[in-house]
């Protein structure tokens, strides 16, 4: 088994945080980004702002190795039923700037 380290480990941790639903972890029920709560919400500016807020709060609570610089959630250019979340962050240890983008589905497919 190969373990990630450094900035790759942090990138993977961010993805785990954002993809984990609250109450999914039995011993830590408040952990997670809880993004599936937006499933079946309309792809509107309001929904995308709520997703931005949720991402910002989840990363502030669960990933102390980064400082979030910005979170942008935009409509997915190829799927009107999804959004693309882009998180720009700075690594606390090295001050290196990083960016992560991920798709957030707003439909049940």
- In the predicted structure, residue 19 carries a pLDDT above the cut 80: yes
pLDDT score at 42? 93
List pLDDT tens digits, range 58-99.
Answer: 999 999 999 999 999 999 999 999 999 999 999 999 999 999
Q: Give the model confidence (pLDDT) of 77-88 as tens digits.
A: 999 999 999 999
42, HSE (Cβ side, Cα atoms, 13 Å): 3
Q: Are 100 and 84 in contact (CB under 8 A)?
A: no
Q: What is the mean pLDDT of residues 7-17?
A: 93
Q: Where are the alpha helices (DSSP H) in 2-109?
A: 6-19, 45-62
Question: How does pLDDT run across 25-38, given as a tens digit for each residue?
Answer: 889 889 999 999 99
The domains of the chain, with CATH numbers, are 6-105 (3.10.450.40)
pLDDT bucket at 5, cuts 50 / 70 / 90: low
**In terms of pTM, does the model score above 0.75?**
yes
Q: Which of 21, 79, 7 is nearest to 54 (CA)?
A: 21
The first and second tokens of residue 54, run together, are 């949720």
Distance of CA 28 to the CA centre of its chain: 18
What integer pLDDT is reported at residue 6 of this predicted model? 77
SS3 67: strand
Q: Under 8 Å CB-to-CB from 43, ≥6 apart: which residues?
A: 75, 80, 81, 82, 83, 106
């Amino acid at each position: 088994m190969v373990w990630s380290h450094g900035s790759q480990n942090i990138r993977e941790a961010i993805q785990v945080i954002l993809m984990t639903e609250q109450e999914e972890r039995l011993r830590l029920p408040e952990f997670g980004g809880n993004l599936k709560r937006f499933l079946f919400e309309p792809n509107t500016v309001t929904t995308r702002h709520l997703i931005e807020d949720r991402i910002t709060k989840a990363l502030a609570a669960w990933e102390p190795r980064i400082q979030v610089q910005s979170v942008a959630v935009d409509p997915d250019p190829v799927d009107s039923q999804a959004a693309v979340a882009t998180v720009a962050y700075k690594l606390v240890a090295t001050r290196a700037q990083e960016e992560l983008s991920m798709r957030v589905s707003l439909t049940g497919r």
